[in-house]
Amino acid sequence: MIILVTGTDTGVGKTFFTVNFLRILIKSGKDVTGLKIVETGCNPVCEDARKISDVCGMEIPPIYSFKTPVAPAVAERLERRQIDVEYIKTKMLNMSKHYEILIAEGAGGIMVPISGSYTFLDLAREIADMVFVVALNKLGVINHTLLTVEVCKYNNIPVRGVFLNNFKASDVSAETNRETLSYLLDVPVYEFSDSSDFEKFMDII
């Protein structure tokens, strides 16, 4: 099973979610591993991949890494390196054969281009079994989340859940966003504030 973790934006807590979800699954005895598909801003360390490696207990570098902190398709142009999408898919599919679950973290949101016009949406449509959407619980999250879930549904990509990150909640909308999104969406909406909240996500897959 391949699960793509995407966000409604960059900096919404995808890596925090991925690492803590991996930790609780590993603790429960699940046959699971993680991966940062493409990481930019590695100057010099790929911090997201390092955190995933630490929780998995082995070195798992991103399939592609770049120094420039921009979208992967932009980074490949700026750094004059080509991302091979077929290689990414082959790598992920091969990894998934050795584990019951592969949790793969994207970069930014679902429409972020990986190479040329090929996006994480395209990747999810072709090889992911489901998508988790991580969103920062703040003003604006309703629109961003509805758009993300809608584009996934339109492309027949199962969204297993929306996960609201309360860690940086800083405005009054955080008190009502979950209720509003639960009313507007036909997928489960969860919240997390710290690592202790992940126990309640054990049964979602």
The answer to whether 143 and 109 are in contact (CB under 8 A) is: no
Instruction: Report the b/e string of 5-21 with b at 16+ CB within 10 A.
Output: bbbbbeebbbbbbbbbb
Q: Is residue 47 part of a domain?
A: yes
pLDDT digits (tens, 9 = 90+) for 121-147: 999 999 999 999 999 999 999 999 999
Is pLDDT at 179 greater than 70 in this prediction?
yes
User: Does residue 204 lie in a domain region?
Assistant: no
CATH code: domain of residue 152:
3.40.50.300
Is 36 annotated as catalytic?
Answer: yes
For every residue of 63-105, DSSP letters joined together read SEE-SS-S-HHHHHHHTT----HHHHHHHHHHHHHTSSEEEEE
**Whether the Cβ atoms of residue 144 and residue 8 lie closer than 8 Å to each other:** yes
**Total domains present in the chain:** 1
Q: Give the predicted TM-score (pTM) of the model.
A: 0.95
Could you tell me the residue range of the domain that residue 115 belongs to? Answer: 2-199
Q: Catalytic residue among 14, 30, 36, 97, which?
A: 36
Domain assignment present for residue 205? The answer is no
Q: Is the pLDDT of residue 17 over 80?
A: yes
